Amino acid sequence: MSRRGASTAGDTGGDQSPRERSNSTSSAGTSTGAATTASPQFATLHSRVGKRYQAAIPEILTSAADAGELLYKQQALQSPRPRFSPNRAQELGPELEKYLKLARSLRDGATFDTQEQVETLALQHLHRFDYNPTDAACSLYARHSIELPTSAGEHQTKSTSAEETKKWILAFYRCMRRTNVDAQGLEQMRVLHEKAQGSAETMPPTETGVLARLVRRITKWREQCGTAQREKVERARLLQLLHQAEDMEVILPEKEAIAYRIRAFDSALTQLKEALERSSKRHQNKKVGLSELDALFEAVMAPRLVFPEEGSFRATVDEAKDLKHTIEKMLTEEKVSLPVMRDVLAKIELVPVNFEQEVDQFQKKMLNAQTWLAKARKCMPNRRATRRAGGADPKKMDLKAIRALVEDAPCENSTEMFEMQDLLDCADEWAAKVKEAIEGGADVQLERLKDLLDEAKDIPVVMDEQKYLEAEIAAREWCTTAALKLASRKSIEEMEELLSKAKEIRERIHPKKQSRWKPQVERDINASMDQARKWVNELRDHLGFTAFDKMNHRLGDCRRYEQNDLHRH
């Protein structure tokens, strides 16, 4: 038989090695002396700084989140499974000593084993069978027993109840001799258990109870594994089931599934934490992509284990997805708000996801918006009040340029956008009033037209309606002036000047009204001018050219004299 290595689990009696006893004795003997010699080292230090300059360090408060994270870290550590529990062994009382006595009595079969190795092996079997000394004794006895080969004549003898019992016992110890329990061994145990239940009167009760407890324990463990496989459980629960399987030394598919589930969860969680830690930097190119982050989170959630950071990780992934949806929506929109874009860019810096491509598109969109704002501010008049009271009239804007800027605006909810939109609304409203007044004709009084023209001075926009309104007012004033001059029989030169003004006004009137504006006073002036020219021609014919020129020369001198006289007075 091979020699077994010694284990520390066998030190149940609390015995110490000679070196440990010597160390403890020496330390106990020098404890009082050390206390007296070490006391000056812990004397109170007196600082030169006053008490008011000494900072008081507050106590460290532990929050629930820190406690949960610490518990998870303790569970996540791959700590070795408990090999032995001294407290449970001491609870057995005299049964423990009887069990160890049996183990020492079986020592003769192990030639090279020391007493410590024998007790270690015995305690390992006791821990394997959940601290039941009867079950552990059967396993230990089976380990030290040797099955003798049977002769051919024994197989041909008639099977009696005693022979069946003997065969059952041999099969039982053959199963108990196994170092591990696989699916085939478990099936053999079940068959033996069912056979023992069928003939319980002839079977030994001790071995039957041991086998029943072992089969029941493994069956219960498999049921718990099935429940844990269907439900979402904590990692500590799976680790507990895995330790139970290692304690019972079973090799079943459930154990492999649990081990694979724990390994997959630990690997995925480590990768997710490393990705988030790497993405906590402010550099976009070092951050993880959204699809990769989602895949890592799904890999962590695939084993269906409960862990404290699940809520925070899920919130991070959901926030990144919502931000991605918001970015895609804003990039597809023609008009966006610059403050909203700045808020989104600030959120991108905080989210541990690589949005480098979206940031570039956002910056291009913001550059277009800022370029548009520069054009809008350049196009709009100066909104600051001037210090000079009698300054020049403010420069007016082009209405068509403003409309083009508003239609091509890449951003909304800006001050410039609101101002230009209000300006367009005000200009459109005033233009509608002007159109109604011009189409009203003579029914609209001249004062109403002048009031509308005064309103146009407050609108910093150059509009065609203002030109048409000025032409309409000039036309009406011209008619009044022309009627007065015609009635007062002004000179031909003044009448010709009136007609030239009428021609200029007609060119400024709305194109649809140019051909229709033919006032009666203009026709009267033209008729009077024709009569005057006809009379002058007839007079020239009667007087002759010489007398007519002298008369014109004298009339010109008289006219200049009258004008000079008027200037003197």
Residue 154, token pair as written in the block? 């024994």
Check whether residue 280 and residue 246 sit in a common domain: no
The backbone region for 60, taken as left when phi is positive above 0, alpha when psi lies in -120 to 50, beta otherwise, is beta
The per-residue pLDDT for 362 is: 78
Check whether residue 288 and residue 336 sit in a common domain: yes
d(CA 365, CA 331): 8
Residue 342 counted as domain residue: yes
Check whether residue 309 and residue 196 sit in a common domain: no
Check whether residue 193 and residue 115 sit in a common domain: yes
Check whether residue 286 and residue 308 sit in a common domain: yes
d(CA 438, CA 468): 8
Beta bridge partners of 412: 337
Eight-class DSSP state of 113: -
Check whether residue 226 and residue 283 sit in a common domain: no
d(CA 339, CA 416): 14
Backbone angles phi, psi at 432, to 5 degrees: -65, -40
Check whether residue 222 and residue 337 sit in a common domain: no
Domain boundary among 210, 233, 266: 266
Q: 119 with 14: CB under 8 angstroms?
A: no
Domain boundary among 334, 355, 379: 379
> SS3 of 298, please?
helix
321: domain range?
Answer: 275-379
Backbone angles phi, psi at 397, to 5 degrees: -95, 165
Q: What is the mean pLDDT of each run of 10 residues along the chain (569 residues)?
A: 38 40 39 40 47 57 54 51 82 90 75 79 88 89 75 57 86 87 90 86 87 92 93 90 90 93 92 86 72 92 91 92 88 77 83 84 79 72 47 62 70 68 78 78 76 77 77 81 80 80 80 74 79 78 75 65 54
Residue 299 counted as domain residue: yes
Residue 217 counted as domain residue: yes
Residue 134 counted as domain residue: yes
User: Looking up tokens 């918001």, which residue turns up?
Assistant: 326
pTM score over 0.75: no
Pairing of strands 233-234, 397-398: unpaired
Q: How many domains does the chain have?
A: 2
Chain segment 516-541, per-residue pLDDT in tens: 777 777 778 778 877 777 877 777 77
Check whether residue 176 and residue 95 sit in a common domain: yes
Question: How many residues make up the chain in this entry?
Answer: 569
Check whether residue 281 and residue 260 sit in a common domain: no
Check whether residue 211 and residue 244 sit in a common domain: yes
Residue 105 counted as domain residue: yes
Check whether residue 103 and residue 136 sit in a common domain: yes
Check whether residue 255 and residue 123 sit in a common domain: yes
Residue 180 counted as domain residue: yes
